[in-house]
Amino acid sequence: MDSGSEIQVKQQVRQFYDQVGWQEVGEGVYQNARFEDLRPVSREYIHNCHQRVGRHLSLEGKYFLDAGSGPIQYPEYLEYSNGYQARVCADISIVALQEARQRIGDRENGGHGLFVVADVANLPFADQAFDGVVSLHTIHHLPSNEHQQAYLGLFRVLAESRSAVVVNGWENSSISDIFVGPIKWGRRTRKRITRRLGKSSRVSAAPKNNAVSTFVNKHNASWLKSEVGTLVNLDILVWRSVGVRFLKAYIHPNFGGKWLLRQLYWLEERFPHYMGEHGLYPLIILKKV
């Protein structure tokens, strides 16, 4: 990708988040939350997965960096920086930062947020400036050839003996494939039936997914280990092994959904490395020793 196309990709991503992703579609709920399962049956599991990030961060410090902060959309996210003097929210979307400011506040109104329009692949901060760093679901919006420099940049701004946590989806997941295969097959079959029965049938009345999205580019665990793990100290654990498609298809409140998710969470806790590499969303820890 030449540098012109990289700039175009970033402009498109910024425009998407400014105009679509960070528009509220309900009270405190953004359009972007369609990538999340907000149903009560999944709440405990999702909450516990969010809590995993905090386990690897120092509880206190001076500056905390949230690279690609968005509006700090979930309450658990706010907790990561509670013990810090300031949380620096960096994002290419102005709307994201305006919303983040509403949530966390700034020094003038008793909050601890600082807000910077910045590119996660070219962080404008000094080496070792941060005692805690997170970057959640953001690096995948970069052109492929900038992923490595983004990871190295997060590592560069991290202080000695501290850790950064990165969460990003893998491009594929053997665990997810087992379950998502039947969903795709079901969809294809439904479409075929719809075509045969014609548009006026009841089946064709199934809701269409008109979801709008933006540029995404993902890697896998071997890419991360060879391109980043050979240069900095990293560990791959599990953040969440399944995605929203799995949750919505298999987890139902009336059919033991909550119980099933507790078993899944137990498995993830028991085998965090395996579930991290083979599940859908790894939790990547960069450690500066």
Ligand X SMILES: C[S@@+](CC[C@H](N)C(=O)[O-])C[C@H]1O[C@@H](n2cnc3c(N)ncnc32)[C@H](O)[C@@H]1O
Q: Which residues bind ligand X (CB under 6 A)?
A: 10, 13, 17, 32, 68-70, 73, 91-93, 96, 119-121, 136-138, 141-142
Q: How far is the CB of 211 from ligand X (least distance, A)?
A: 13
Nearer to ligand X, 90 or 257 (CB): 90
Nearer to ligand X, 36 or 258 (CB): 36
Q: Looking at this protein, which amino acid is placed at residue 89?
A: C
Q: How far is the CB of 119 from ligand X (least distance, A)?
A: 4
Q: How far is the CB of 141 from ligand X (least distance, A)?
A: 4
- Between CA 164 and CA 53 the distance in angstroms is 9
Q: How far is the CB of 137 from ligand X (least distance, A)?
A: 4
Nearer to ligand X, 119 or 277 (CB): 119
Give the three-class secondary structure for 88. strand
Q: How far is the CB of 186 from ligand X (least distance, A)?
A: 27
- Between CA 157 and CA 11 the distance in angstroms is 25
In the complex, which residue's CB is closest to ligand X? 70
Instruction: Measure CA of the first residue to CA of the last residue in the chain; give whole Å.
Output: 34
Nearer to ligand X, 131 or 146 (CB): 146
Placement of tokens 């506040």 in the chain:
105
- CB-count burial class (<10 Å; 0-12, 13-18, 19+) for 89: buried
Task: Identify the CA nearest to 92 among candidates 24, 6, 25.
Answer: 6
Nearer to ligand X, 69 or 163 (CB): 69
